[in-house]
Structure 1
Amino acid sequence: MKLSLGPLQYFWPRERTLAFYREAADWPVDIIYLGETVCSKRRELRTRDWLALAEELAGSGKEIVLSSLALIEAESELGALRRLVENGRFLLEANDLSAVQLCRERGLPFVAGPTVNVYNHRALALLIEDGLRRWVPGVEQGRTLLQEMREALAADGQAMPELEMLAWGRLPLAFSARCFTARALDIPKDDCGFRCIDYPDGLPLATREGEPFMTINGIQVQGMEIVDMAPERDELAACGVDILRLYPQAQEMADIVAHFRRMLDSPVPPPRLGARNGYWHGRPGKASLADPAP
């Protein structure tokens, strides 16, 4: 298996972002994803900056992939997407069908990100025809569905593409045209002041009873728990998973990467550091570390 550093989901200051990725160049990951996937208003780094950073990190010998927005709402966002697609060097992670379409028209291979909805083998086969090289299933897609899709593809004489699964980080659950962070702070979306930059790991949301519930990150809703799939390493391998995705977090990311690298080199999977992903086991997604093993 390989390790990937998924795209940064949060909004960090420019210098902090650049410093993070320059450190990541020395981490034992095989693939680094770069780009804004959540909100087009986050412009500490613009498209040209992400492209320049990709060129810089490519010198580390790692595979660099450019990630696109999950929700395209304006012509200006399509223009930025075209620049990513036409970069001429780096693979694109397509996070919506407009990105898939642009790659298909140009005959370019792409990664299908977790927000491209694929729930059966026929849809996956169509994307493979369009140029899909690697698939990152949505967080709610567990081992049973992946096994069924692999078997159905094989029955049609089609191999499963390279498979990448989220192994560390908060589950990205939903996107909306509404900014949840702005709403929580009682400010208008169009005059938000980019307040999500104050929450480097998202804004925690609790129920009225005070129970931790979700994390809000601009227009994105995430799970509260940080999911850890390291103990499921052997199950992931049995399902044909090729790459484990680690989502960036504000603190101790180098230690998390090192933990997963040791996990890959160990004969026995490590104890769980984060929460169990209930979706993987066909249970409710909010299945915490305290829950009994399925």
Structure 2
Amino acid sequence: MNASMKLSLGPLQYFWPRAATLAFYRAVAGWPIDIVYLGETVCSKRRELGFRDWLALAEELAEAGKEVVLSTLALIEAESELGVVRNQVGNGRFMVEANDLSAVQLCRERKVPFVGGPSLNVYNHRALAMLMEDGLRRWVPGAEQGRVLLQELRGALEAEDLAMPELEMLAWGRLPLSYSARCFTARALDLPKDQCGFRCIDYPDGLPLATREGEPFLTINGIQVQGTEVIDMAPEREAMAACGIGVLRISPQAQGMEEVIAHFRQTLEADAPPPALGARNGYWHGQAGKASLAGMEPGKAA
């Protein structure tokens, strides 16, 4: 049992219709989730909900007892996008998840604490220490960062009399692998990026991509590329706790989220973690992210 761990619902990675998005988050208010991240992190053209809509949802969820964090874009390319980040950072109530160094800079200027998102690309203790000086209070490592790196970072910080910040790890969902200025969904549908027709709204869990041999390979989500498998880190509960991870992040999906959250609530409350519902994350063990680890003992490297 690990009652000290918390559950978070990460920002919505996909593009859903406005009504579906609002209905989803109003249901979240009644789920056993501690922290909820709100906001568009992938593509600024996804405008079914604007800043005021996200802020209204944040107020509703806060009234329901949730800790709410506003998430910024992972790739900022225009002044208009930076303006949205300024509004998020200056909201005056809710913490921000900074997914781009522009957001970090704005948080630093305003002297407001922030969550360091997984797209900040932190790979050494000096970068992490610098971000902590800027106001980082919680850090979400990237999908490819496993337990060995976390242990090395902790040891290096402690050698300089610095404490590791609160850690949050993606525990359920497709691994976000990369971002690009190009839109992969538009390209796959033979559309120009500026005239994409917002077609990614037709793929509520991303567009599957297969190899020439028909093997599942990746998932395309606008300018983002994800892994094809949904990972489940529930069997790694004790190993994650030993690394100092205090928050398990669940990434929203179009179907079955209430059951997933119940699965993870059981993960935290049971004496032993339940069997995995999804794939195992090879990166956690220092292997390829897609490595088949079904027969591996939780917490053990091959």
- Fold match by TM threshold 0.5: yes
Superposed displacement of residue 288, structure 1? 3.3
Equivalent residue, structure 2, for 1:279: 283
Query: Which aligned pairs between 1:1-294 and structure 2 lie closer than 5 A?
Result: 1-288=5-292, 290=294, 292=296, 294=302
CA 1:292–1:262 in structure 2 vs 1: closer, same or farther (change >3 Å)?
closer
CA distance in 1 between counterparts of 2:54 and 2:17 reads 14
Whether the 8 Å contact between 2:266 and 2:273 is mirrored in structure 1 is no
Specify the code of the residue in structure 1 equivalent to 2:239.
Answer: E
- Rounded to whole Å, the distance in 2 between the matches of 1:65 and 1:242 is 16
Cα distance in 2 for residues equivalent to 1:139 and 1:288 = 16
**SS at 2:245 equivalent:** coil
SS in 2 for 1:137: coil
Deviations 1:151-204 (A, max 9, x none): 110110000000000000000000000000000000111000000000000000
- Is the partner of 1:41 in helix, strand or coil? coil
Q: Distance in 1 between matches of 2:149 and 2:285?
A: 10
3-state SS of the aligned residue for 1:36?
coil
Q: Could you list the per-position Cα deviations for residues 204-243 of structure 1 after superposition, in whole angstroms to 9, with x for gaps in the alignment?
A: 0000000000000000000000000000000000000000
Rounded to whole Å, the distance in 2 between the matches of 1:117 and 1:284 is 18
User: Conserved in 2, the CA contact under 8 Å of 1:39 and 1:218?
Assistant: yes
Q: State how far apart, in whole Å, the 1-side matches of 2:154 and 2:188 are.
A: 42
Q: Is the 8 A contact 1:274 1:289 kept in 2?
A: no
Contact kept in structure 2, 1:275 and 1:287, CA below 8 Å? no
Separation of aligned partners in 2, 1:245 and 1:158: 25
Q: Residues of 1 paired with 2:64 and 2:296: CA distance?
A: 42
Q: Using the alignment, how far apart are the partners of 1:268 and 1:77 within structure 2? A: 45
| Residues 88-145 of structure 1: per-residue CA shift (max 9 Å, x gap) | 0000000000000000001000000000011011110000000000000001110000
CA distance in 1, matches of 2:49, 2:295: 40
- Residues 31 and 64, structure 1, Cα contact 8 Å, conserved in 2: yes
Partner SS state of residue 100, structure 1? helix
- % identity of equivalent residues: 77
Amino acid at match of 2:288: P
SS at match of 1:224: strand
Asked whether the equivalents of residues 8 and 249 of structure 2 are also in contact (C-alpha less than 8 Å), the reply is: yes
- SS of equivalent residue, structure 1 residue 16: helix
Structure 2: unaligned runs, 5 residues or longer: none
Deviation at 1:291, TM superposition (A): 6.0
Deviates more, 1:44-53 or 1:5-14: 44-53
Tell me the CA shift for residue 55 of structure 1. Answer: 1.0
Moved beyond 6 Å, runs of 4+ = none
Alignment partners' CA distance in 2, 1:222 and 1:291 = 24
Shift of 1:57: 1.1
Task: Judge conservation of contact 1:142–1:280 (CA < 8 Å) in 2.
Answer: yes
Deviations 1:64-99 (A, max 9, x none): 000000000001001111000000000000000000
Question: One-letter code of the match for 1:223?
Answer: G
Could you tell me which runs of 5 or more consecutive residues in structure 1 were left unpaired when the two chains were aligned: none
The question of whether the paired residues in 2 share the 8 Å contact of 1:173 and 1:222 is answered with yes
Q: CA RMSD in A?
A: 0.8
Count residues in correspondence. Answer: 294
